[in-house]
Amino acid sequence: MNHETPRDEAASAPSRFALDAPTFARLHPAEYLRRFLAKNVRPDGRPYAPALRTAKFRKTMVNVGSISTSEGSATVRLGKTTVLCGIKAEVAAPPIDSPDNGYLVPNVELPPMSSPNFRPGAPSELAQTLSWRLEQLFRNCPTILDLKQLSIEEGAAAWVLYADIVCLNYDGNVFDATVIAIMAALKDVRLPKATYREEEGAVTIPDLSERPVRLQVGPVPVATTIGVFESQYFLVDPTEMETSLCSATLTLITDEGGRLLGLHKSGGFALNQEQMAESVETAIARGIEIRNQI
């Protein structure tokens, strides 16, 4: 005679409510990430180790000259994150306070096609912040691109370089990708020879099909972003899911000489001296890797 109670039967039967991995990740994202990291692996398959020196970045690919109709262009893939930078040149009056300079105007777009998190309409706060951070990078580090080489005639005419960066697919860490893209595109820029005719107050470009003027780009900056999850896990090159769970992010920008050009930190986590030293070391190594591709 079977004396097993209905409760015992329920306990012994397989659970009908077991969640598959994608569903579990949507419902319990922090626990999902925590379980991966406890096994020293990240959800995208990269190994995880507490030491930043051994951290793994997503595969990065750079394709220069993606847009034939632009003065310079580049496409960058950082894992699944993909951005396209196209640079167009126009003639304008130079800045009043710098009559022998030209302009570089970066603009980042995050269209709805790149992620369901973005909506049509006015630029999102993230897109505006990314554009501002790029502008500040070039403003604070004028040796990256000497704007004097964009002058056509001092006080009369100069080139304006519009660097439009469009995110084609967003999976986190788009700032690092945009820095790579704009630098690769700037190194690809070719400008036509322009002459200013003072008697007419106009600029003449003899042949638009010929672009003999190549930009001289200074020390190439590379950005390295690290996310902090639960104050103990340091995740280099975080994905979109990882970024959404991080309490803080740290972005370091280094140049070819290993100098720290900029540091941007968001969130309320303080790094100790050892963690900061490891972060800088990781950023320098990352810079060497990326410059070999540009």
Nearest to 104 by CA among 64, 70, 135: 135
pLDDT at position 285 over 90: yes
Q: What is the pLDDT of residues 16-39, one digit of tens each?
A: 556 787 788 888 899 999 999 999
pLDDT band at 4 (very low <50, low <70, confident <90, very high): very low
Mean pLDDT, residues 51-77: 94
Phi, then psi, of 220 in degrees rounded to 5: -80, 120
Check: CB of residue 179 under 8 Å from CB of residue 253. Answer: yes
At residue 11, the pLDDT reads 45
User: Which structure tokens are listed for 140?
Assistant: 């604070």
Check: CB of residue 101 under 8 Å from CB of residue 147. Answer: yes
At residue 206, the pLDDT reads 78
The CA–CA distances, whole Å, from 256 to 40, 67, 165, 179, 218 equal: 32, 27, 23, 14, 9
- Domains, in order of start, for the chain: 60-218 (3.30.230.70)
Phi, then psi, of 87 in degrees rounded to 5: -115, 125
> What percent of the chain shows pLDDT beyond 90?
75
Secondary structure (3-state) at 158: strand
pLDDT at position 5 over 60: no
Mean pLDDT, residues 271-294: 92
How far from chain centre, in Å, is Cα 112? 18
Secondary structure (3-state) at 48: coil
At residue 95, the pLDDT reads 95
Mean pLDDT, residues 65-78: 95
pLDDT at position 13 over 90: no
Helix axes 174-188, 125-140, angle to 10 degrees: 50
Separation CA 175–CA 81 (nearest Å): 10
Check: CB of residue 239 under 8 Å from CB of residue 171. Answer: yes
Q: What is the pLDDT of residues 216-264, one digit of tens each?
A: 999 999 999 999 999 889 999 999 999 999 999 999 999 998 999 999 9
At residue 9, the pLDDT reads 45
At residue 16, the pLDDT reads 52
Q: What is the pLDDT of residues 253-273, one digit of tens each?
A: 999 989 999 999 888 777 888
Strands (E) across 5-139 are located at 60-64, 72-78, 81-92, 103-109
Separation CA 169–CA 113 (nearest Å): 7
Strands (E) across the chain are located at 60-64, 72-78, 81-92, 103-109, 151-153, 157-169, 190-191, 195-197, 202-204, 213-214, 222-229, 233-236, 248-254, 260-267
pLDDT band at 87 (very low <50, low <70, confident <90, very high): very high
Q: What is the pLDDT of residues 38-57, one digit of tens each?
A: 999 999 999 998 888 888 99
At residue 275, the pLDDT reads 87
At residue 259, the pLDDT reads 92
Q: What is the DSSP letter of 17?
A: -
Residues with Cβ within 8 Å of 80's Cβ and at least 6 positions away in sequence, in order, are: 58, 169, 171, 239
